Structure 1
Amino acid sequence: MNNSSLDPAYTSLGFTLANSKYSCVREFYVVHFFFAMAMGVLGVVCFVTRLIPRLRYFHAPVGRAYIISLLGATASSLLIHNEGMPLGVLISFCWVLGGTVVGWLAIVLHRDILHNRALNELDRSKAELLGPSSESTKAQLQRIMRSIAERKTALQRMLSWKALHGILMLVSWVNIIGRIGVTFATFPKLSYPEFECYTYPAYKPVNSSWYQYTPGSPIQFLPSADPLYSRLPWAYSEGRFGTILLVGPSLAGFVLGLVYSYLSRRFGGSPKLQAVPESDAGSL
Structure 2
Amino acid sequence: MKGGNLTVWSFFFLEGFSRYPKLEIVLFVFSLVMYLITLLGNSTLILITVLDSHLQTPMYFFLGNLSFMDICYTSASIPTLLVNLLSSQKTIVFSGCMVQMYLSLAMGSTECVLLAVMAYDRYVAICHPLRYPIIMNRQVCVQMATVSWVTGCVTALLETSFALRVPLCRNLIDHFTCEILAVLKLACTSSLLMDMIMLVVSVLLLPIPMLLICISYVFILSTILRISSAEGRNKAFSTCGAHLTVVILYFGAALSMYLKPSSSSSQEVDKIISLLYGVLTPMLNPIIYSLRNKEVKGAVRKVLVAAPAVVAG
Query: If the length of structure 1 is used for normalisation, what is the TM-score?
Result: 0.31
Between structure 1 and structure 2, the one with the greater Rg is 1
